[in-house]
Every structure is written in structure tokens, then in C-alpha cells.
Chains A and B, each alone.
Chain A
Amino acid sequence: MNDDFVTAGVNLQFSYAAGAAASRFLCALRDEQKIFGARCPECRRVLAPARSFCPRCFVETNEWLEVGPGGTLGAFVAPPFAQLLEPTLTLALIQLDGADTALVHRLGEFDAPMLRRGLRVVPVFAASRRGHILDLAYFKPVELDNAHSI
């Protein structure tokens, strides 16, 4: 060890109950490769990912519906510090077709210059799925040739 530096680390292990709504959402990702949203009976917004209640109206959601799979790229960022560990990591807000909220997820299979707000993206599912948000591995831009068909 260098005299002038101390290197240390911690491993923080935690687990939490996903709850009824997130469990159902994640099981659909795992088993059906489908993305679900939930509609608020008050404001009629479709919240995706699906939530048990509307945080704006404070009422329980009662209607589940499939959203996407295609969506539109909103804000995106390549976090500089996270990129020290994972150089290709780019996070994005993705508004799935049929949803009124944006989902935070990762982007993949893209060249940085092609990224712009409004870009059409589609999900790529992981081959091995375990009931986790990364069962949906990432979103990738739609090939221009196929853009009209999505």
C-alpha cells in the first residue's frame, strides 16, 4: 500500500419486499416479456411502470394494461462517475407507447451521436430472467428502416 493513500471498501447487502404492484410488474417482465402500466381512475393517467396508487391523486389504481413495447426517448445521460466503472452506461427516461409517465432505464446498441429526444426505442429482454427490472436488459434505438412499422 502506498503510504499516502488508504484504500477501503464496504459491501452493503440489502433486500426488500417488492410489494404487490412491483411483483406483478416484474413477474410479467420475467414470464411474458410484457411491460405493464396502471391507470389512475381519477386523472386517467397511465403510470408505467405500474403502481398500486396514483401519487398525484392518492387513489388506488384499478386497471392494469400493457404498454409499449416501443417508446420514445426523453432525457438521457451518460453519468460521468458511473462510467468510470461501466463506460457504456447511459440512463434514459423512456415514455412507453400508451403511458403518461416515463420509465428510467438503460440504453444499449446505440452510437452516442444518434441520441436525441424523441428517438424511437424498443426493449431488449435478457435471455435469463429472474423477476428483476434488468429482465428488460435495455432499450435500443429502432433501425430507421423499420421505424414506421413499430
Chain B
Amino acid sequence: MTELLKISHTMHLEWRYGVGASFHEFIAALRARAQLLGRRCPSCQRVYLPPRPVCGNCYVELRDWVEVRDTGTVRAFTIVHTPIIDPTTGARRPSPYTMALIQLDGADTTLNHYLEASDPTKLRIGMRVRAVWRAPRTGLLGDISHFTELTDE
């Protein structure tokens, strides 16, 4: 019987991209002041976070920046039981973990992020959450490590 082999391989992909004029200011404010900037549509008044260059409803160019708070409301969530390999580190992310769509205070759109709660059975749509920041910040949305329950409101 032939010895059967297993071929193992790690593919390392690295990339660098220009963030464009719209995202540039967002990143600068995020890194310098842990400030979240959204963009408001002059036509329908919707505030986009993350910021977009054009309103998806009105097809109008967005130029106005508005500050969005790092607290928000859970609009949807899912508890993930499948262990995944974190693509940025190659390490396995502990499971279960929760992903949520979070509408930050001052924004009209939701942000997809990790949600950590002391008691997963207490997760509710509509629950109030706050961002937990990493230090030092690099100017990416990953500067928010995750969201957690907001208790002191």
C-alpha cells in the first residue's frame, strides 16, 4: 500500500489600497480622536456610517460630515457556533461568538460588528450597546474591538 500524503500550504495574501477621498477623513478622525464620522445625504437626510460617497437612495453626492456616537442599538444579531479561522491572524476565533448589526446613535445605517455580552441569553434586538476600543488605534474599523452592553444609561 502506498503511503498517503497530505499536502499543507499557507497562502499569504497581502494588499494595500487607496481609501479614496471619502474614507480618508473618516480614517483620520477615527485614528486621531476615536471619532466616528458619518455622511449625511442633503436630500433625504439619511446619515451613512460607514460613510459613502453617494446616497444609495437619492443618487446624490454626499459632502456633509456628521459626528456619530460610539453607542448604539442592536438591530439584528446572530450567535455563531461554527469555529472560524480569523483571516487576519490565522488563529481560530473562540466560538460561540455573536455578530450584530448595530445602528450607532446619530446614524441611519447599521454597522456589522462583533457583540460580546456577559450573558448570551440576554441578547435582544433593541438592546443598547457601546464600542470597546483598541489601543493604539490604526485608523480602521477594527480599532473597535467589539461592542458590549451599555449599562450606565
A contacts, CB < 8 Å to B: 1, 3-20, 22-24, 26-27, 131-132
Contact = CB atoms under 8 A, between A and B. Distances in A.
A7 B28 contact: no
A137 B145 CA distance: 44
Nearest to A31: B3
B4 A20 contact: yes
Contact of B10 (A11, A22, A23): A11
Contacts of A11: 10-13, 87, 89-90
15 contacts: A3-B24, A5-B18, A7-B15, A9-B14, A11-B10, A11-B11, A12-B11, A12-B12, A12-B13, A13-B10, A15-B6, A18-B5, A19-B4, A20-B2, A27-B5
Interface of B: 2-19, 24, 27-28, 31, 85, 87-90, 138-140
Q: Which of B2, B10, B13, B16 has the most CB of A within 10 A?
A: B2
A12 B7 contact: no
A66 to B, nearest CB: 16
A37 to B, nearest CB: 16
A17 B6 contact: yes
Given A1-B138, A12-B11, A22 B19 contact: no
Nearest to A19: B4
B4 A18 contact: yes
Contacts of A132: 7
CB-based closest 4 A-B pairs: A9-B14, A15-B8, A11-B90, A10-B87
